[in-house]
Amino acid sequence: MLRQSSTLKMTWKLLWVPFLLAAWALPTTSSLHPDQPKVLLVAFDGFRWDYLYKVPTPHFHSVMKYGVHVKQVTNIFITKTYPNFYTMVTGLFAESHGIVSNDMFDPVLNKSFSLDHMDIYDSEFWEAATPIWITNQRAGHSSGAAMWPGTDVKIHGTFPTRYMPYNQSIPFEERVAKIIEWFTSKEPINLGLLYWEDPDDMGHHLGPDSPLMGTVISDIDNKLGYLIKMLKKAKLWGTLNLIITSDHGMTQCSEERIIELDQYLDRDHYVLIDQSPVAAILPKEGEFDEVYETLAHAHPNLTVYKREEIPERWHYRYNRRIQPIIAVADQGWHVVQNKSEDFMLGNHGYDNALPEMHPIFLAQGPAFRKNFTKESMNSTDLYPLLCHLLDITATPHNGSFQKVQDLLRSAAPRTTPDGKSTTPLHGRTKPKEYEQEESYAYFIGVSLGSILVIIFFVIFIKHLVRSQMPDVGAVHPEIVQPLLHA
């Protein structure tokens, strides 16, 4: 009897084992992606895609060798800083996220926005979209931002969990130190955003064709080397998915290629909202036709559009902050009101189909393939990729996870029956095949769990039968029977 009761106790204890085994075998969201969910997104402003080959860039090339590289990233029109930075973290075109330029005017708010003023801290300009740091926080995670444009603005009443108010004079090393501190703190962030102003500043100043740009690019490569060294020191390297990209490229300008609006139009007829290379023009009341007709025939290197005629491919039409007329300069041309204005040897903002406007894109980490080169992607696809890496549900966007999932180690290229993007702006936000992947894993998990339970019971019964066996070696059915009902 004593022996029987201790066997019963052991039986009850052992009964937990199959359930624990089954629970272990059942897939959870995190077990689907064991490498998740740490992501560090780094942007070097104005890093053109081919700067990688201008001078030796061993640290960039190391990331390419041990990670992935996309040769041509089509960013969004206009190829300016603020619109593109907001696209990277929302997956939306400028007409949808509302940051249509570095300088804009909203006729309903009756407010201006300018990179050079405090207007950028006005939440109302940003709230047509929800950036990824907020979505990440709403999912219960923490985000940290070191100077990433827009991250020190209160959007939908929220700041990133950790952030640095923008201050251009703060060195790169200090920004890196903050990011690492946040990733390794007791309540760590899982999403880091790191911004650096160059090579954009020097690209404007010197022009991308200047031999002096080589030194600037080498310096950026050293900065990347420093970041990698510090990530290794903090033991984050190898567990964190690092993405290195930029907002746009840069093209060479010349004082020989200037379009001077004062030569054609009286300033009394219009207000110039945004300048080179996309002049955003707000005609004064009753002056639209005259302004348009005059500009349309002004200069062979200036293409003038009424807002409703802006090419569809630019996705730059349906927003009240896009002015009634835009005049777009050909690559390498400047639009100014008067030649006495500041001149830059390098500029960007032109047609996003021009390769010189395209930024770099590299990534390395547990989620990414090794030594893999992809020909092209859209910058709107970065957002669903980030959401996938962070395992959060994307808000509606213009990108496609399907188009970039071949960058990932675990996701073989998949196609949907209609071949269209699985993440349209107004449609579902989680690709269908991702759910399929989950249900497959669930099925396998359940099957594996059930098999383990069955195996356990077989072993358990065998064990029980043996333990109840008299020394003589014969099994007495009366002893075994009640235990089987236990």
Q: Indicate which residues carry an active-site annotation.
A: 81
Give the torsion through C-alpha atoms of 416, 421, 427, 432, to 10 deg. Answer: 30
Choice between 200 and 351, CB closer to Zn ion: 200
Pair 281, 104: CB distance under 8 Å? no
Choice between 200 and 356, CB closer to Zn ion: 200
Residue 20 C-beta: closest distance to Zn ion, Å: 57
Choice between 234 and 345, CB closer to Zn ion: 345
The token duo for 240 is: 């964190």
Residue 150 C-beta: closest distance to Zn ion, Å: 16
Exposed/middle/buried for residue 210 (C-beta within 10 Å: 0-12, 13-18, 19+): middle
Q: Which stretch binds Zn ion (CB under 5 A): 82-90, 195-203, 290-298, 381-389?
A: 195-203
Kind of pairing, strands 39-44 and 270-274? unpaired
Choice between 351 and 452, CB closer to Zn ion: 351
- CB nearest Zn ion: which residue? 200
Choice between 202 and 227, CB closer to Zn ion: 202
Residue 360 C-beta: closest distance to Zn ion, Å: 15
Pair 259, 265: CB distance under 8 Å? no
Beta bridge partner(s), residue 146: 164, 194
Q: Which of 267, 325, 416 is nearest to 400 (CA)?
A: 416
Choice between 200 and 381, CB closer to Zn ion: 200
Show the site string, 313-352: x = touches Zn ion by CB under 5 A, - = not: ----------------------------------------
Pair 22, 450: CB distance under 8 Å? yes
103 contacts Zn ion (rule: CB under 5 A): no
Neighbouring C-beta atoms of residue 29, cutoff 10 Å: 11
Q: Which residues contact 127 (CB under 8 A, 6 or more apart)?
A: 98, 155, 156
Residue 120 C-beta: closest distance to Zn ion, Å: 15
Choice between 44 and 270, CB closer to Zn ion: 44
Q: Which residues contact 209 (CB under 8 A, 6 or more apart)?
A: 252
Q: Which stretch binds Zn ion (CB under 5 A): 25-33, 170-178, 196-204, 472-480?
A: 196-204
Q: Which stretch binds Zn ion (CB under 5 A): 18-26, 197-205, 287-295, 367-375?
A: 197-205
The residue within the footprint of Zn ion, chosen from 18, 137, 178, 200 (CB under 5 A), is 200
Q: Transcribe 239-280 into DSSP letters.
A: TSEEEEE-S---EE--TTSEEEGGGT--GGGEEEEE-TTEEE
Residue 398 C-beta: closest distance to Zn ion, Å: 23
Neighbouring C-beta atoms of residue 235, cutoff 10 Å: 10
Site size with Zn ion, rule: CB under 5 A? 1
Q: Which stretch binds Zn ion (CB under 5 A): 198-206, 268-276, 310-318, 422-430?
A: 198-206
Residue 331 C-beta: closest distance to Zn ion, Å: 15
Tokens 């006729």, located at residue: 107
Q: Which of 187, 184, 196 is nearest to 246 (CA)?
A: 196
Pair 298, 260: CB distance under 8 Å? no
Length, in residues, of the chain: 486
Choice between 324 and 355, CB closer to Zn ion: 355
Residue 163 C-beta: closest distance to Zn ion, Å: 22
Q: Which stretch binds Zn ion (CB under 5 A): 84-92, 162-170, 200-208, 430-438?
A: 200-208
Q: Which residues contact 122 (CB under 8 A, 6 or more apart)?
A: 111, 113
The residues that touch Zn ion, with contacts defined as CB under 5 A, are 200
